[in-house]
Amino acid sequence: MQTKKKSLIESITNTVIGFIIALTVQLIIYPIMNIEVRISQNLIITSVFTIVSIARGYLIRRVFNKWD
**What is the longest distance spanned by two Cα atoms in the chain?**
48
pLDDT of residue 34: 97
Residue type, 38: R
First-to-final CA distance of the chain:
7
Is the overall model pTM greater than 0.85, yes or no? no
Strands of 1-68 (E only): list them.
Answer: none
DSSP category for residue 32: H
Angle between helices 39-67 and 4-32 (to 10 degrees): 140
**pLDDT string in tens for the chain (68-residue length):** 788 899 888 878 888 898 899 999 999 999 999 999 999 999 999 899 888 888 888 898 889 888 86
